C-alpha cells in the first residue's frame, strides 16, 4: 500500500499538464480530538491519493489543518469523503480566490504535535472556548467601532503585502511571538475594548481567541473563515472591501490579489512591489519581495553574491555547498541585512488610536 508521495514536483507538473483538467485550490481546518493521528493520517492519504489530491495537510491529536488542490470534477467525491468523518461533516471549505492548477505539486500528509505551531505548553486553557465568529458584514461594523482593536494574527511577511485598514500588524516571525506582544501591549484594555482578530483562513485566530479569553480578555471576536472567506462574502453581498493589497498564501501562488493597491516595496530597490520570490541560489532560497526590474538585473537572486554563485555550473555550486549545511536564509522570510528596503512594521500603535495609559 502506497502511503507516501513518490513523484517529484516536475513529474507531477507534467501529469497535470497532460490531464488537461482544471483543479480547485482550497483549505480547511478543524479542532477535534484524534486518538490515533498516525492511523488517521494513513487513511486520509490512501483515499486522497486515489482522488488525485495534492497539498500540505497536518494531522495532530488536536485536529487537522489542510491546504490542498484536487481536480474540479472530483470535488463532490472529496466532499462526500469528508462527510463520512464525524468531525468533518459539513465543514466549511475555503475555496481560493485565484485558482492555479500548479498550486500544489505533491501530496504531503504529516503527523505533527499541533496543527498550528504555537509554541505553547499551557494546557490549562480550552481551545474550544473560542471567541465569537463574525462574517464580513459584522466584521466591517466592528472595525469601525472606536472601542475595537483590530489585530492581524499573521507574520510580518504576510501583513507586509496586505492587511486590513488600521490593523495592528506585529513585526513578528512566528505566531507564538504575536500572542505575547498582544497580551502585553493590550493588557489595560481586557475589558473596555473589543479584541477583533483575523488571519488567512481562520485557524490561527481560532486558537488565539481561546488563548486571549483564557488570559482575561472579555470581548473577543474573530473573522470567520479569515481573509479568504471575507473576500468571498464581500463580493457576494456587495459589501465594502476594507482589505488593502494581497493575501499571502502558502502554496506556489504565494498570494491572492484582494485589492488593486500595492502597499509593499521591492526589498532591493524600494519600488512599489508585492511579489514574493525565493532566491534562485539553492544554498539560500531566501523569500523576499522583488520587482520585475530587479528580477531581471539580479537573475532572481537576493544579492550579488548569490547571483555569482547561481551563475556557476551546477557541479561547482554543489561543491561549494558540500559540508556547509543550509544557509539560515532558507528559513527566513524577508529578513536579511542586505535587503535595504524591508518594511519595518514594529510600531504596532502607529495606526491605532489605543490609549496606552
DSSP one-letter code for 139:
H
The Cα–Cα gap between 16 and 217 comes to: 48
Buried b (16+ CB within 10 A) or exposed e, 306-345: bbebbeeeeeebeeeeeeeeebebeebbbbbeebeebbeb
- Order of strands across the sheet that contains 23-31: 94-95, 23-31, 63-71, 54-60, 107-111
Q: Which residues pair with 196 in a beta bridge?
A: 150, 221
- CB neighbours of residue 223 within 10 Å: 28
For residues 167 and 152, the answer to whether their CB atoms sit within 8 Å is yes
CA-wise closest residue to 164 among 114, 110, 222: 222
Report the Cα–Cα distance between both ends of the chain, in Å, rounded: 62
The Cα–Cα gap between 99 and 85 comes to: 27
DSSP one-letter code for 192:
T
Length of the chain: 357
For residues 27 and 66, the answer to whether their CB atoms sit within 8 Å is yes
For residues 136 and 235, the answer to whether their CB atoms sit within 8 Å is no
CA-wise closest residue to 357 among 211, 188, 169: 188
Q: Of the residues 199, 279, 291, 301, which is catalytic?
A: 199
Q: Judge whether 199 counts as a catalytic residue.
A: yes
**The C-alpha cell of 317 is what?**
555550486
Q: Phi then psi for 313, rounded to 5 degrees? A: -55, 150
The Cα–Cα gap between 161 and 49 comes to: 34
The Cα–Cα gap between 212 and 130 comes to: 9
Active-site positions read 199
Amino acid at each position: 500500500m502506497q502511503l507516501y508521495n513518490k513523484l517529484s514536483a516536475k513529474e507531477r507538473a507534467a501529469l497535470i499538464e497532460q490531464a488537461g483538467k482544471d483543479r480547485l485550490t482550497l483549505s480547511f481546518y478543524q479542532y477535534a480530538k484524534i486518538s490515533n493521528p498516525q492511523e488517521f493520517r494513513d487513511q486520509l492519504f490512501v483515499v486522497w491519493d486515489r482522488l488525485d489530491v495534492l497539498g500540505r495537510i497536518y494531522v495532530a491529536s488536536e485536529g487537522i489543518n489542510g491546504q490542498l488542490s484536487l481536480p474540479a470534477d472530483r470535488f463532490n467525491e472529496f466532499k462526500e469523503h469528508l462527510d463520512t468523518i464525524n468531525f468533518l461533516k459539513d465543514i466549511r471549505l475555503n475555496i481560493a480566490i485565484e485558482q492555479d492548477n500548479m498550486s500544489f505539486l505533491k501530496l504531503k500528509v504529516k503527523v505533527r504535535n499541533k496543527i498550528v505551531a504555537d509554541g505553547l505548553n499551557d494546557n490549562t486553557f480550552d481551545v474550544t472556548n473560542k471567541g465569537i465568529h463574525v462574517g464580513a458584514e459584522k466584521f466591517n461594523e466592528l472595525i469601525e467601532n472606536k472601542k475595537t482593536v483590530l489585530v492581524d494574527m499573521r507574520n510580518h511577511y504576510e501583513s507586509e503585502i496586505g492587511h486590513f485598514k488600521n490593523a495592528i500588524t506585529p513585526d513578528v516571525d512566528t505566531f507564538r511571538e504575536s500572542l505575547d506582544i498582544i497580551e502585553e501591549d493590550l493588557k489595560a484594555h481586557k475589558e473596555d475594548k473589543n479584541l477583533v482578530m483575523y488571519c488567512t483562513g481562520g485557524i490561527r485566530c481560532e486558537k488565539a481567541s481561546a488563548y486571549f479569553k483564557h488570559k482575561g480578555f472579555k470581548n473577543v471576536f474573530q473573522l470567520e473563515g479569515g481573509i479568504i472567506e471575507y473576500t468571498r462574502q464581500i463580493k457576494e453581498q456587495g459589501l465594502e472591501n476594507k482589505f488593502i493589497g494581497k493575501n499571502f498564501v502558502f502554496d506556489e501562488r504565494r498570494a491572492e490579489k484582494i485589492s488593486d493597491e500595492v502597499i509593499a516595496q521591492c526589498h532591493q530597490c524600494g519600488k512599489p512591489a508585492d511579489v514574493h520570490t525565493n532566491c534562485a541560489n539553492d544554498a539560500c532560497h531566501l523569500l523576499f519581495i522583488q520587482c520585475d526590474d530587479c528580477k531581471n538585473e539580479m537573475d532572481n537572486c537576493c544579492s550579488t553574491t548569490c547571483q555569482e554563485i547561481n551563475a556557476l555550473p551546477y557541479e561547482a555550486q554543489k561543491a561549494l555547498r558540500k559540508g556547509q549545511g543550509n544557509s539560515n536564509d532558507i528559513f527566513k522570510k524577508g529578513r536579511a541585512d542586505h535587503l535595504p528596503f524591508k518594511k519595518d512594521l514594529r510600531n504596532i500603535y502607529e495606526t491605532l488610536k489605543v490609549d496606552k495609559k
